[in-house]
Structure 1
Amino acid sequence: MKTKNIQKLFLFALSVFIFASCKKESENIFTMFTDVTVTYNNSDPRCVTDYKLVNDKDEVWIDFTINSANEDVYSYVVETSSGTQQPQRITYPITDETKRRSFSNILKLTMNRDGKSSYRIYALNQKGIFIGDGKKNVTVEVNPSYMIYANRNIYLPNPEGTVPSFFSLTDASGYSYTNAAQNAAKIDFGIFARLASNSTPSVVSVVLNLYSLSSATNPIPAFDISGFNPKRTTKFSAPVTGQANAFLTSAVSGSTIETLAKARTINLDQTNATLLANGLNGGNGVFFLTQEGKYGMLYINAVTSDYEGRPYINVSVKIQK
């Protein structure tokens, strides 16, 4: 009996010791890596030392100094966190052996993403192991530089002209033929359908396109738009396939929208796709330039029909402010 009690007492004491050791280690993790400091310097009005509010295309400097008391620093990592994306990490070597205990540099960034981006700099030793970040990061916030309109429906016109088949890119409003004339100054385009070039009597395929009111050819003669005035002169690119990633993760500021748009030829007042996949089809995008000089991107989320069987396209729009 005594032996069993001694064993129980020993096991209890051992458990307490292990628990205390773990507890002590857990507490120490928050005080580790204090030998390395990262200081953000205010050497220029463009520097960020904690938080900075700027505009799209502004230049921001991160002037930093890494000091290490006990271990050489062989490289440092700049970690950027923006929106919902995974943090981006870029590693830079420190090649000057005289600067392994104290290293300074200035990162010069041109801001091209709306919203907040956080920057963290941390040091690595010779083995590439984290040795400290000074428990500090800095945040840059870019003022909104574009508008986004999500999930707008544009209908194929019906014979009565009562569904919203015309669309304004500046405020994402839809107009039907019955109220389009009095709103002509707001309308950038309408949509229409044509038989696809690969359509056959047994397999009918339709392709969707868009047209500006200023187009030389009215693709829907039954709807007379000759008297609409004024007519906006927005220009468009041909539909571009596979634009989901560009719309969601690349078009993130007015300047990036402009860069994406300028990579395309934008000179059409009517698109002329002849195949379903190349028209206003799900996943495709159309870049545009308004008469006010604003670049933008129209993304087709889906081509579908409502509960009454009326076909429409669901779109989202990003346009410069």
Structure 2
Amino acid sequence: MIRSNAAVTQVPADFANPVAALAGRTAVRALYAELALHPKPGLVSPFDSGSHDDMDMGTFLRSLFALRGYFRAIAAAGAEGADFAVLRDLGIAGERRMLAATGGINTHRGAVFGIGFLAAAAGWRMRRGRTLRGTALGGTVGDLWGADILAAAPQAPVSHGARAVQRYGARGARQEAADGFPTLFTLALPALDRALADGADPERALVQTLFTLMAELEDTNLLHRGGSAGLTFVQGEARRFLDRGGVFQAGWRAEALALHRACVARRLSPGGSADMLAAAHFVHALREGWA
């Protein structure tokens, strides 16, 4: 299992702040785990910038530092039963802090949105003593804020992901959240749990989960960078990797690195899969850290 180092074993009478602290720490650790992972085709890691000319690991670390308070704040707001408008405003403020820290570079917009709502749902459920197991967190997002997520006007300027949704008819982050994050709970988390149960260490389990997502997700970042051909290429290569045994095959690292080089050559980056991987780490670790 991938454990958070912030287990809560007793619940004090006023526990909104401890709940928020746990969720906030777990979110930042999940994003750091995704950043530190290698190999990740086309993505920024400690070893290189992947397909990105405008960011590196240092850019991501500055972003993470700027977002620490945001994840705690949105979890606390969720614990208090905040409505969509409050969560939206916290997200906008968090994104502004991210952009100020990175010089205008989008490092974690997807996580500000996705993990932000999951953290709010975790705060709401933990405050009320409810389980985090199964699809509970996603269901809470959909039930409490799903309709407002879909009804909200897109922010300006429109993101690359939103343009890909409009152009290619892909399923975007807003629909995913409003529906309770089905890809996260029916694909990513089962893949992570299965890899760990089959004996993979945390690094290999996360790589296996990433490739599972790359093989199936309509990644709007890939569509933005490479169109339908780019998405099809990455999905096909990821499926072949998995069909040959994934991280349980001999030489898996060399094969994953070969795809990394191919993605860099094509300027492809599966950022949507990376966001979903971080969300899976967050939910998995939060479940383990909350008794």
Q: Does TM-score exceed 0.5, indicating one fold?
A: no
Q: Comparing both structures, which one devotes a greater share of its residues to helix?
A: 2
TM-score of the aligned structures, taking structure 2 as reference length? 0.23
Q: Comparing both structures, which one devotes a greater share of its residues to strand?
A: 1
Structure of higher CA gyration radius: 1
TM-score of the aligned structures, taking structure 1 as reference length? 0.21
